[in-house]
Amino acid sequence: MPEYCWLAYSKVLDKWAPVVNDCWVLGGVHCRADFDLVSVRTLKNLWNFNQGFHVVTAREILGLINLGYSVKQKPNLVKFVCTDPGKAQAATIQAYDAFVKGKERMGADSIRSILVMDPALKNEIHGFDQSRLRHVVPPR
């Protein structure tokens, strides 16, 4: 769906829910459309640590990979392309939802595969200066 259509639709509807987004993704999957990742892959943008659930970016990435898509990385672009048309065409909203809920039950570990897909983020994590951490003693 072109961006202007989605913006118009969302303003008329004035509501958003994960199932609405999942249906939008599934529509693209059934068309075997390419998806460009425009959101930054950060922990905060993948997992809600306060309430314990996937942020929409993680739902989309995990869903696409499960629905027959592969990652194609270029210097300034991450693209998801359909590599299993049969799996994409057979995808249902019920299977998509069940898969994401199963991943979500794994907790924050479920986003680990998304993080390792990003070489820059992986290097940042491996290069983290642990000497900047300080020990915190809980108050009594």
Question: What is the pLDDT at residue 91?
Answer: 95
Q: Nearest-5° angle of CA 73, CA 107, CA 27?
A: 50
pLDDT band at 59 (very low <50, low <70, confident <90, very high): very high
Name residue 47's beta-bridge partners: 54
Structural domain range at position 95: 18-124
Q: Nearest-5° angle of CA 24, CA 37, CA 74?
A: 140
Question: What is the pLDDT at residue 5?
Answer: 46
Q: What helix, strand, coil percent values describe the chain, rounded to 5?
A: 55, 15, 30
Q: In this structure, is residue 47 part of a structural domain?
A: yes
Higher pLDDT, residue 106 or 124: 106
pLDDT over 70 (residue 1): no
Q: In this structure, is residue 114 part of a structural domain?
A: yes
pLDDT band at 30 (very low <50, low <70, confident <90, very high): very high
Could you give the number of structural domains in the chain? 1
Higher pLDDT, residue 135 or 87: 87
Q: In this structure, is residue 7 part of a structural domain?
A: no
Section 121-127 average pLDDT = 64
Question: What is the pLDDT at residue 14?
Answer: 59
Q: In this structure, is residue 137 part of a structural domain?
A: no
Question: What is the pLDDT at residue 3?
Answer: 47
